[in-house]
Structure 1
Amino acid sequence: FCTPGQIEAEIDGVLDLTFDLLGAFGFEDFTLTLSTRPEKAVGSDDQWDLAEKSLKNTLDARGLEFEVEEGGGAFYGPKIDLNIRDAIGRSWQCTTVQFDFNLPERFGLSYIGEDGAEHQPLMVHRVIFGSLERFMGILIEHYGGAFPVWLAPVQATIIPISDRHLEYAKSVNDRLLAVGIRVETNDGNERMNAKIRGAQLQKIPYMLIVGDREIEADAVGVRLRSGEDLGALSLPDIINRIHSESENKAL
């Protein structure tokens, strides 16, 4: 809720939040649409004119390109729609910045202005991601299931070369869990190469191989899901690497 003098700053703040959050997930390609008053609408002409002008001014001030959809607004207010493009160029409707002239009237809302009189506030509501389930679907499509480390449900899987290495594998598992890394140990009966292949198919970012040499050095052999072999890393080194990628939201 805001006064007429506050609405452009409010819209600008919503766009800041939108670009920050979507950018963190790797979405940098956007299209914008400004939708204006439909034939049937609530609210006064002055409210619609002010709201449409404020939305346009905010987009112009940022130097953003946008299309105007005449008559495409909701009956209760104009809006900005933001579509994101995924890794293969598909467009998904995501963020909406929307005026609502209906609810302040229905709820009888008012504030005391600088002139000492009562005024009805303007209402701006926002939807950044749409529904959580839909946005998760967009993320899965965008990354093809190969989530960056900070988003991956399992960040690392530990693969013992043989059964005699299982105890050390579980020790490494516990040490990584203790510092907040999402890790699992593959203690199945498959051969090591089959376990590595399975982890790649599951698109787990890190495969940590443990055998005699790793036990002796208190280390792990590190493979990436891309197939790259990083060789042996000490536990502090692999912990720091995963933490750094997570904290920096590396993509």
Structure 2
Amino acid sequence: MPANFAALSAAQIDAFITDGFVRIDDAFSREVADAARAILWADTGCDPDDPATWTKPVIRLNQYGQPPFKAAANTPVLHAAFDQLVGAGRWVPRSVLGTFPVRFPSADDPGDAGWHVDVSFGFDDPDFMSWRANVSSKGRALLMLFLFSDVGEQDAPTRIRVGSHLDIARQLAPSGEAGLTLRELAADGFASTAHCPEVLATGAAGTVYLCHPFLVHAAQPHRGTRPRFMAQPPLVPASPLQIDRADGAYSPVELAIRVALDQG
């Protein structure tokens, strides 16, 4: 691919600002997904060919940096998309892919299927409900969903509230740099975003959803037949996001926040 190519069209960037996410098909190869999934299967302690060993609705695996995971996170198309959404030089390349909530077909409640946003600072507090987000999205430039298995509508796809990032930006704005805790953000169960249309993060292995940090989303029970493997790492900013730039050189992530505040 040529240097500085555009991974996203102008229409896709506009949709990201309005809807809060963009889907990239074939962001990494199926061969990379298969190699990564083999590593993950071994760490679940389950047999991929014996559903009798799939006894939990979800198993959480953490911080994978082996070659397949690094390869998935650092493809030319993703780097180009990061440049377009966050800004060239404004993001930190991923060396690991964070948490993998591996979801198994189960009639049991997974216990983690509530609506939420991923907060991004204050992690020194042992109470995760006290972790925080602020209007300039301190510590997080994107939420990313990496599909390492084929995910259909019955395979516990992440639920997304389209455009909900705009509501959250307006909710965070009055609290300034200090922001709000997850407990404060979730006090109404994210009822302020209940009006938003809902879509499912489905796709073939190798699909990546690049989401605005404020996008409201949720897990759900798995009603399919094969486990779902997905990573959900942040893209960390190399320098703080700004919603008041003297030069006006706003990224789409920043522009979405400005649009929300202008609408408010």
TM-score bin, normalised by smaller chain? under 0.3
Q: Which has the higher strand share?
A: 1
Structure 1 length-normalised TM: 0.24
Greater radius of gyration (CA):
1
Question: What's the TM-score, normalizing by structure 2?
Answer: 0.23
